Amino acid sequence: MKAYLFGWNPVKFKWENIDADIEKLNTTGKLVDNWSVASHKTIQPGDRAYLVRLGVEPKGIFGSGYIQSEPYLASRKGRIYYRINISIDVLLNPEKEPILTFDILKTGNLAEQTWAPQASGISIRPHLVDELEGVWLDFLANKEDYL
């Protein structure tokens, strides 16, 4: 499986309704959001997506999901770029609960990956995908230990 990293910087873009989005996901089991994607030539529906918080602490992975759409062109403030839809399966509020921080992501084999990308939607190194998924699932199962 391929996996991609999607950056969110709260300094540049406020996620005003993150708590409502978390509640929607918890209540309905569904939450779809769109993100810009740099790797638009290789990304496909079904690929894994990880959401990473950048810019301010805590920095790290705070959500995950699966690519739901083919890349499509969109326009914002006169600029045209590619976007995709992500069906989010986990979403954490970094201001209120632990996230998978860079301290953990920059250890062992995972240290080979750039966790603070300049563009959103970059490919995660293929040989790290399974390890990242395992670390993410372990973190989610034990996140109370990170309080």
DSSP helix/strand/coil, 65? strand
Distance CA 25, CA 107 (A): 30
Exposed/middle/buried for 57, CB within 10 Å: 0-12, 13-18, 19+? exposed
C-beta separation of 100 from 136 below 8 A? yes
Q: Give the torsion sign (CA, 115, 91, 20, 121).
A: positive
C-beta separation of 7 from 62 below 8 A? no
Model pTM score: 0.95
For each of the domains in the chain, give its residue range(s) and CATH number, in order of start. 3-146 (3.10.590)
pLDDT in tens, 59-105: 999 999 999 999 999 987 888 889 999 999 999 999 999 999 999 99
pLDDT in tens, 131-144: 999 999 999 999 87
